[in-house]
Each structure stands twice: as structure tokens, then as C-alpha cells.
């Protein structure tokens, strides 16, 4: 890739003009986030966190918690597809961001709005404490 093509694209109003195939131009990132103070919800609980709008293209998710989830196994996705964005797994990182995404759905433009749920996989109760989840991506006209 020639350096001049990248430089031209970064100052061009035509976002991708001059970029080699497969490279992204400038754009705006958006974050749809939600926070909740968990209160020891029972195992197999679902918690709605945020809603992604039509035209949103998710690139990755990020979650943080003030407490460890212990043995609780959580997935991130839709109410009917609990593991669309994050497969069930434990979450023991405290006060540090944890990035996640299933590659097959990263970069796919949404054609319907999607309420995002965190679901516990019937393993253990959720902890008591602050939990934050965000979905990062960009939005395009559909």
C-alpha cells in the first residue's frame, strides 16, 4: 500500500477514496451501553442491557464489573439467541474492560433493532454489584 493513498483518504470527504481494497476509511464509532447493579439474580437469569438500532454494525463488545461472577456462566446476545455476541463463559476480571465478539457477526449491518441481553447459563446465581456492558461499532443508513 502506498502511503500517499492512505494520506489522501484521511483528508478526503469520500471516506474510502484512495484506500487500497480491504482498508477502512475514516468514520464515526458509536457505543450503545447499559449498566445495572446486579442483586444476586438467580441462575438462568436474563438482564436486558441496551438496544442496538437498525443500521448499526457491531465490531466488538466490552464489559466491566466491580465484582467477579464466580461460577456464573454468561452469554451476550439476544433473548432468543443468548450467545450471538459472546459464548457462555465465566467472567472473573474485576474493574478492567473485557473485550468480546464472535467473528461471524462482527461487521454485519443490523437490519432490525436488537435488544442486547446478558444471560446466565443455569450454572450459578449472578453476583451483587455493578456491571457495565457496551457494544461498539458504527451506524449506516439501511
Arithmetic mean of pLDDT, 29-48: 91
Burial of 4 (0-12, 13-18, 19+ CB in 10 A): exposed
**Looking at the domain assignment, is residue 18 inside a domain?**
no
- At residue 4, the 3 state secondary structure works out as helix
Can you give the residue range of the structural domain that contains 52? 27-139
Domain assignment of residue 114, yes or no: yes
The number of folded domains in the chain is 1
Residue 17 lies in a domain: no
In a domain, 134, yes or no: yes
The stretch 109-137 carries a mean pLDDT of 94
3-class DSSP state of 122: coil
The CATH number given to whatever domain includes residue 101 is 2.60.120
Q: Please report which confidence band the pLDDT of residue 124 belongs to, taking 50, 70 and 90 as the band edges.
A: very high
116 located within any domain: yes
Is 4 domain-assigned? no
DSSP tag of 5: H
Confidence of residue 18 (pLDDT cuts 50, 70, 90): low
Q: What is the pTM of this model?
A: 0.78
pLDDT of residue 93: 87
Burial of 31 (0-12, 13-18, 19+ CB in 10 A): exposed
Whether the CA torsion 80, 81, 85, 88 is positive or negative: it is positive
Amino acid at each position: 500500500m502506498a502511503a500517499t493513498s492512505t494520506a489522501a483518504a484521511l483528508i478526503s470527504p469520500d471516506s474510502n477514496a484512495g484506500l487500497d481494497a480491504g482498508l477502512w476509511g475514516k468514520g464515526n464509532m458509536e457505543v450503545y451501553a447499559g449498566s445495572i447493579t446486579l442483586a444476586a439474580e438467580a441462575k438462568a437469569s436474563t438482564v436486558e442491557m441496551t438496544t442496538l438500532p437498525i443500521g448499526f454494525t457491531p465490531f466488538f463488545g466490552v464489559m466491566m464489573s466491580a465484582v467477579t461472577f464466580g461460577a456464573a456462566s454468561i452469554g451476550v446476545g439476544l433473548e432468543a439467541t443468548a450467545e450471538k455476541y459472546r459464548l457462555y463463559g465465566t467472567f472473573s476480571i474485576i474493574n478492567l474492560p473485557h473485550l468480546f465478539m464472535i467473528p461471524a457477526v462482527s461487521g454485519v449491518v443490523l437490519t432490525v433493532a436488537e435488544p442486547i441481553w446478558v444471560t446466565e447459563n443455569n450454572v450459578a446465581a449472578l453476583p451483587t454489584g455493578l456491571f457495565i456492558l457496551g457494544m461498539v461499532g458504527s451506524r449506516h443508513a439501511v
